[in-house]
């Protein structure tokens, strides 16, 4: 059989991507991908639409979500949740809470920008976002369009990134809560882009991953647009050591991260077998355990 490729990490307009869920699936088809997982931040609002288009185009699909967990500066810890049950009441409650955390943070960013003489309103930001999940890339896109910065990247560096003047943190789950919540919602938790943890050395990275494994981590993202061959090798090694599922994806955000292309993770394509193994593991996790008499 011909080689087949997938993308297990991408964002739509349901969070901070610029392509609708339908458009992301169409693009996946155009790129020749055979399977896709949509992993919007803090929401599965895009999943229903993506499922319909994926069926239509004959692309296999797995629902996903990406959640940010508490982690010391300057690192960030993102946990992907695969195979979460879109009907789960717990998931609805979880996403409502995460979105409330954003709604609490975003007006503070805007107030600070206004103090810095940037002409921007919450209303503009909400219009830019379109959906319920309003994130910093939406604010960055407005700053870019209005000419305050020459790129999205500069908007982060100058205003929005950790350490910049208009940075405000949002309420996050602890790693333990994030892993537990994903499992309670029928999903499998996977550590995203381990490079972004900004660990000082391999020993520290190992300890962080081991702690997550003890809390129920099921997989690690090996291929990602931030991962060079060295990071791919580190993550492969951790996957083997802790018997973790391996995943990979582009982290496509449309024009909010224009250098990232769907189906490509820093020059690597993601082999189909990673999707098949992940999907099988999600199905096994969702089955009720055998009850022995
Ligand atoms: P938020 O969820 O609103 O906190 O924003 C997180 C989003 O902003 C994610 O898509 C990140 O990849 C993106 N982001 C965070 N820091 C930067 C940065 N320095 N440059 C570009 N994008 C960033
Ligand atoms: Zn994003
Ligand atoms: Fe992320
Ligand atoms: Fe992402």
186 CA distance to ligand 4 centroid (A)?
20
Q: Across residues 85-92, what is the average pLDDT?
A: 94
Predicted confidence at residue 287, as pLDDT, reads 76
Predicted confidence at residue 292, as pLDDT, reads 66
Q: Across residues 53-59, what is the average pLDDT?
A: 98
Instruction: Name the pLDDT band for 289 (thresholds 50, 70, 90).
Output: low
293 CA distance to ligand 1 centroid (A)?
51
Predicted confidence at residue 226, as pLDDT, reads 98
Phi-psi region of 83 (alpha: psi -120 to 50; beta: other; left: phi over 0): left
Predicted confidence at residue 182, as pLDDT, reads 97
3-state helix, strand, coil in the chain (%, to 5): 45, 15, 40
Predicted confidence at residue 271, as pLDDT, reads 98
Query: What 3-state DSSP class applies to 208?
Result: helix
- Nearest CA residue ID for atom 16, ligand 1: 161
Residue 184 has pLDDT above 70, yes or no: yes
- Nearest CA residue ID for atom 11, ligand 1: 137
Q: Is the CB of 172 under 6 A from ligand 1?
A: no
146 CA distance to ligand 4 centroid (A)?
25
Q: Across residues 173-185, what is the average pLDDT?
A: 97
d(CA 69, CA 196): 12
d(CA 163, CA 175): 22
Query: What 3-state DSSP class applies to 10?
Result: strand
Token duo for residue 193: 């882009």
d(CA 3, CA 18): 29
223 CA distance to ligand 2 centroid (A)?
17
**Average model confidence (pLDDT) across the chain:** 96
Residue 1 has pLDDT above 70, yes or no: no
Q: Is the CB of 144 under 6 A from ligand 1?
A: no
């Amino acid at each position: 059989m011909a080689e087949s490729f997938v993308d297990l990490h991408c964002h739509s307009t349901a969070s901070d991507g610029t392509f609708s869920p339908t458009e992301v699936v169409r693009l996946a088809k155009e790129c020749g991908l055979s399977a896709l997982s949509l992993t919007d931040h803090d929401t599965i609002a895009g999943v229903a639409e993506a499922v319909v288009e994926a069926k239509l185009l004959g692309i296999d699909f797995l629902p996903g979500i990406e959640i940010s967990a508490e982690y010391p500066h300057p690192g960030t810890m993102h946990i992907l949740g695969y195979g979460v049950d879109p009907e789960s009441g717990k998931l609805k409650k979880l996403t409502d809470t995460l979105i409330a955390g954003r709604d609490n943070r975003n007006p503070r960013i805007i107030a600070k920008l206004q103090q810095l003489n940037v002409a921007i309103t919450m209303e503009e930001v909400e219009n830019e976002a379109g959906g319920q999940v309003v994130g910093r890339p939406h604010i960055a896109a407005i700053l870019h369009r209005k000419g305050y910065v020459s790129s999205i990247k500069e908007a982060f560096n100058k205003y929005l990134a950790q350490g910049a003047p208009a940075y405000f943190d949002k309420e996050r789950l602890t790693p333990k809560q994030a892993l537990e919540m994903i499992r309670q919602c029928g999903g499998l938790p996977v550590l995203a882009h381990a490079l972004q943890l900004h660990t000082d050395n391999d020993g520290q990275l190992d300890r962080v991953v081991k702690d997550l494994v003890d809390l129920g981590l099921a997989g690690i993202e090996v291929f990602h647009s931030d991962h060079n061959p060295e990071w791919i090798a580190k993550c492969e090694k951790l996957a083997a050591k802790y018997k973790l599922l391996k995943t990979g994806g582009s982290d496509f955000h449309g024009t909010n991260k224009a250098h990232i292309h769907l189906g490509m993770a820093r020059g690597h394509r993601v082999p189909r077998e990673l999707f098949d193994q992940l999907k099988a593991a999600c199905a096994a996790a969702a089955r009720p355990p055998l009850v022995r008499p």
